[in-house]
């Protein structure tokens, strides 16, 4: 009885309570909030609930490094940070965050990507990506603007240090590994900059003329692999124009290539200030314009920003909605952008996790990885008469000299520069590695160009140099640590030449004259001119920018605590004029033609028969490796089938070491002009003395193909192919042949 009378009253209560709740949060029980449902279902459910205004709002940022949140629907902002060498400060532009005055974000600084490329260690790069992903989360961010997979087309590019080198296959392997590592932590990567951002000169305005074959064979593969092999969640478009259109509004790049040809499902983010229109940009397949909101407006109003040619502020909701209303833009294009961003956000779990800053970064494991990476990145370029490794009892004193000896230069300049909690200088690393029996002296020798003008007068220079020479003369060996700084090699401008900064060549020459046992260690992201002194020094080490642990790595390599195993991911030319891109840069009237076409890097040196200073793939070890037993099966392969290649590598020296075995394909006869050789496989093998290991490679049709402009597709032509196995691109040890059947 009682129950019967209470029931209507209770149900009114419940209905009212639910009503109040729903009024406060109408989407509380919406399917999109349910993490158990499939991502696509959640995306479509949420899209259905969004107003046109809300969808349009998704297409532009709310701040310097944040996308727009939506409080009504509980859509969080995507919080970003720059990479690729670690997590960088996100409060503003490079100019702001590189300045000493801002409160820095301190994170593990890994070697420059060019050094990671020099490791040829795919597993290491994947692990690096994963650790960076962990640090992104620990710092309360969701997305890392990395990796950079642009090809190092010319030695002068200010951002060479940020890419993985000149070869599309190597860059693809490294980019894929990095992305897999980042995404394994549910952090959003953003492979960049699509496409052909290969110079800083007028990067906002330059129009690059590049033929289709060159795009597909050289500048696209790393992006294609990022999409198809790593399933990257985001791609950043480049500043420059390609064939007449800005990358941010190029239907050819964004919708035809990225989406239709490669099947990209994620979102495209603009580079910071790379948009110049509303309807054409959204319609082309640009989904998120950055930066946005007030920070963008303040930055964009600055005369420097305008002067440099940046474009911004085109994808704000008002402009997007107006374009739709005016019939210039289809609503579906706006929906597609919102859909793609939401898809990634659901996939990355951003609706379920709210990351807050305060987690642990730079843990002992992360530091150890940074040290291993720095060690593996180092390339021993020259070692005449076994000058290296140094150490007792061979020597009892060493002079450490140079502008990069007592200052740790962890990275190049610009948006990738990470502030580590600490950094190890080469001098400290040498002291540790040399041990108590070796006395270590230090002299500056020359100050880094532009760092202290009082030390740059002719008199001051002479005094510094003399001091260094005196120290070198009375020491058993000398190590001269030279190179660039983040102010001289940086995003934003190209290097004026390949030459070392002022006074460094003279320093090396003077020290080498005083001490025959001189090692030059180069800290730079790209090749430097060495012709003036290379014949006069027995040993040269390329250390790149090695991140926070670089000093330990340099000490360990020079003193033989570790065995060098890095190999060049770029050709080192004797001079800039030898580069295939010479004469095709920087162009005229803001137009540049990539006239060398597919002949970039070693492809160009081979084609024109130019002797490099050090070839692509070159790097010495303290042990020796013998190559043997090349087997290729089958001898005749049917179209579409795979070829198995095996060989054996033996450590025939007396200490443990790692060798990077490289596989190049040489197409014997082709209907089109093809490079003499193209890298299509590599393996990094770690061997103890006397140990032999069998190495195998699988070649599929893509390894044999060229891109046919006429057919607009990849073509593997029947006929003979040679497999060249080398310790570098110019040290081919084994050759074999197989036929591709018609």
Beta strands per DSSP E along 434-529: 439-443, 477-483, 518-523
Site for ligand BGC in 50-89 (CB under 6 A): 82
Smaller CB distance to ligand BGC: residue 295 or 681? 295
Of 207, 271, 362, 428, catalytic: 271
x/- contact string, 110-149, with ligand BGC (CB under 6 A)? -----------------------------------x----
Task: Please provide the DSSP assignment of 545-592 as one string.
Answer: --GGGHHHHHHHHHTTSS------SS-B-SSGGGSTTTTSSS-BTTEE
In angstroms, the CA 34 to CA 176 distance is 31
Smaller CB distance to ligand BGC: residue 237 or 504? 237
SS3 content of the chain, % helix, strand, coil (to 5): 35, 20, 45
Q: Which residue has the tokens 């007449």?
A: 244
Query: Please, what is the minimum distance in Å from the beta carbon of residue 415 to ligand BGC?
Result: 4
- Residue 661 DSSP one-character state: E
Beta bridge partners of residue 107, listed in sequence order: none
Smaller CB distance to ligand BGC: residue 402 or 413? 413
Residue count at the site for ligand BGC (CB under 6 A)?
6
Q: What is the Cα Rg of the chain in Å?
A: 28
Q: How far lies 43's CA from each of 30, 345, 485, in Å?
A: 11, 9, 46
**Number of DSSP helices (H) and strands (E) in the chain, helices first:** 22, 25
Cα 26 to its chain centre, rounded Å, is 44
What value, to the nearest 5°, has the Cα angle with vertex 256 and ends 122 and 326? 130
Smaller CB distance to ligand BGC: residue 240 or 579? 240
x/- contact string, 181-220, with ligand BGC (CB under 6 A)? -----------x----------------------------
x/- contact string, 271-300, with ligand BGC (CB under 6 A)? xx----------------------------
Query: Please, what is the minimum distance in Å from the beta carbon of residue 516 to ligand BGC?
Result: 44
Smaller CB distance to ligand BGC: residue 272 or 724? 272
What value, to the nearest 5°, has the Cα angle with vertex 97 and ends 96 and 101? 80
Smaller CB distance to ligand BGC: residue 503 or 525? 525
Per the annotation, the verdict on 271 as an active-site residue is yes
Smaller CB distance to ligand BGC: residue 82 or 659? 82
Query: Please, what is the minimum distance in Å from the beta carbon of residue 148 to ligand BGC?
Result: 7
Query: Please, what is the minimum distance in Å from the beta carbon of residue 63 to ligand BGC?
Result: 12
Query: Please, what is the minimum distance in Å from the beta carbon of residue 276 to ligand BGC?
Result: 16
In angstroms, the CA 268 to CA 238 distance is 11
Question: Which pair of tokens denotes residue 311?
Answer: 């474009």
Smaller CB distance to ligand BGC: residue 223 or 616? 223
Query: Please, what is the minimum distance in Å from the beta carbon of residue 175 to ligand BGC?
Result: 14
Query: Please, what is the minimum distance in Å from the beta carbon of residue 164 to ligand BGC?
Result: 15
How would you label 358-384 residue by residue, b for 16+ Cβ within 10 Å and e otherwise?
Answer: eeebbeeebbebbbbbbbbbbbbbbbe
- Residue 305 parent element (H or E): helix 303-308
In angstroms, the CA 399 to CA 407 distance is 16
x/- contact string, 411-430, with ligand BGC (CB under 6 A)? ----x---------------
x/- contact string, 376-415, with ligand BGC (CB under 6 A)? ---------------------------------------x
Site for ligand BGC in 217-276 (CB under 6 A): 271-272
Q: Which residue has the tokens 């070890």?
A: 621
Query: Please, what is the minimum distance in Å from the beta carbon of residue 190 to ligand BGC?
Result: 7
Which residues of the chain form contacts with ligand BGC (CB under 6 A)? 82, 145, 192, 271-272, 415
- Catalytic positions are 271
């Amino acid at each position: 009885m009682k129950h019967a009378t209470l029931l209507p009253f209770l149900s009114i209560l419940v209905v009212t309570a639910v009503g109040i709740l729903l009024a406060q949060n109408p989407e509380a029980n919406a399917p999109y909030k349910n993490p158990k449902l499939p991502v696509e279902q959640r995306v479509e459910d949420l899209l259905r609930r969004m107003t046109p205004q809300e969808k349009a709002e998704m297409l532009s940022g709310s701040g310097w490094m944040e996308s727009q949140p939506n409080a009504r629907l509980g859509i969080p902002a995507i919080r970003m940070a720059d990479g690729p060498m670690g997590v960088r400060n996100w409060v503003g532009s490079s100019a702001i965050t590189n300045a000493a005055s801002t409160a820095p974000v301190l994170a593990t600084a890994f070697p420059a990507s060019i050094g990671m490329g020099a490791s040829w260690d795919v597993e290491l790069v994947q692990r690096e990506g994963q650790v960076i992903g962990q640090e992104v989360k620990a710092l309360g961010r969701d997305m890392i603007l990395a990796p950079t997979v642009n090809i190092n087309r010319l030695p002068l590019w200010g951002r060479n240090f940020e890419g993985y080198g000149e070869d599309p296959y190597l860059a693809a392997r490294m980019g894929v590994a990095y992305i897999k590592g980042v995404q394994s932590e549910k952090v959003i990567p953003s492979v960049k900059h699509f496409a052909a951002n290969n110079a800083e000169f007028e990067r906002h305005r330059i129009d690059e003329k590049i033929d289709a074959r060159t795009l597909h064979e050289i500048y696209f593969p790393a992006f294609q692999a990022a999409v198809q092999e790593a399933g990257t969640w985001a791609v950043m478009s480049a500043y420059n124009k390609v064939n007449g259109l800005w990358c941010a509004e190029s239907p050819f790049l964004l919708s035809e290539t990225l989406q239709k040809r490669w099947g990209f499902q994620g979102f495209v983010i603009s580079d910071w200030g790379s948009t110049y229109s509303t309807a054409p940009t959204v319609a082309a397949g640009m989904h998120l314009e950055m930066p946005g909101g007030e920070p963008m407006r303040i930055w964009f109003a600055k005369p420097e920003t305008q002067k440099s040619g940046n474009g911004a502020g085109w994808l704000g909701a008002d402009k997007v909605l107006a374009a739709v209303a005016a019939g210039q833009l289809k609503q579906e294009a706006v929906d597609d952008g919102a859909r793609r961003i939401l898809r990634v956000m659901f996939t990355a779990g951003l609706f379920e996790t709210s990351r807050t800053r305060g987690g642990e970064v730079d843990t002992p494991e992360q530091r150890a990885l940074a040290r291993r990476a720095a060690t593996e990145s180092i390339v021993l370029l020259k070692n005449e008469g076994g000058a290296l490794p140094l150490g007792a009892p061979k020597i009892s004193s060493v002079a450490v000299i140079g502008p990069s000896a007592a200052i740790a230069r962890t990275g190049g300049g610009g948006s990738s520069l990470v502030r580590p909690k600490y950094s190890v200088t080469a001098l400290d690393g040498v002291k540790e590695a040399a041990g108590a029996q070796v006395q270590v002296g230090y002299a500056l020798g020359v100050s880094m160009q532009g760092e202290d003008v009082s030390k740059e007068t002719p008199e001051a220079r002479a005094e510094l140099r003399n001091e260094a020479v005196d120290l070198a003369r009375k020491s058993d060996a000398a190590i001269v640590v030279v190179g660039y700084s983040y102010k001289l090699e940086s995003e934003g401008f190209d290097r004026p030449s390949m030459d070392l900064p002022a006074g460094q060549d003279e320093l090396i020459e003077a020290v080498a004259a005083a001490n025959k046992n001189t090692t030059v260690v180069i800290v730079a992201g790209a090749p430097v001119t060495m012709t003036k002194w290379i014949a006069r020094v027995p040993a040269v080490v390329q250390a790149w920018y090695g991140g926070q642990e670089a000093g330990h790595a340099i000490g360990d390599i020079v003193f033989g605590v570790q065995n060098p195993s890095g190999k060049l991911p770029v050709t080192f030319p004797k001079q800039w004029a030898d580069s295939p891109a010479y004469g095709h840069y920087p162009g005229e009237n803001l137009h540049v033609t990539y006239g060398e076409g597919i002949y970039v890097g070693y492809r160009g040196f081979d084609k024109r028969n130019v002797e490099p200073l050090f070839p692509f793939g070159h790097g010495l070890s303290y042990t020796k490796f013998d190559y043997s037993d090349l087997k290729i099966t089958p001898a005749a392969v049917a179209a579409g089938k795979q070829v198995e290649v095996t060989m054996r590598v033996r450590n025939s020296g007396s200490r443990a070491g790692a060798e990077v075995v490289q596989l190049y394909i040489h197409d014997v006869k082709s209907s089109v002009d093809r490079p003499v050789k193209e890298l299509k496989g590599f393996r990094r093998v770690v061997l103890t003395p006397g140990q032999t290991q069998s190495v195998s490679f699988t070649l599929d049709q893509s390894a044999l193909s060229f891109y046919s402009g006429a057919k607009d597709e990849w073509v593997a032509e029947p006929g003979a192919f040679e497999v060249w196995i080398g310790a570098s691109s110019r040290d081919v040890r084994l050759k074999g042949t197989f036929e591709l059947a018609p």
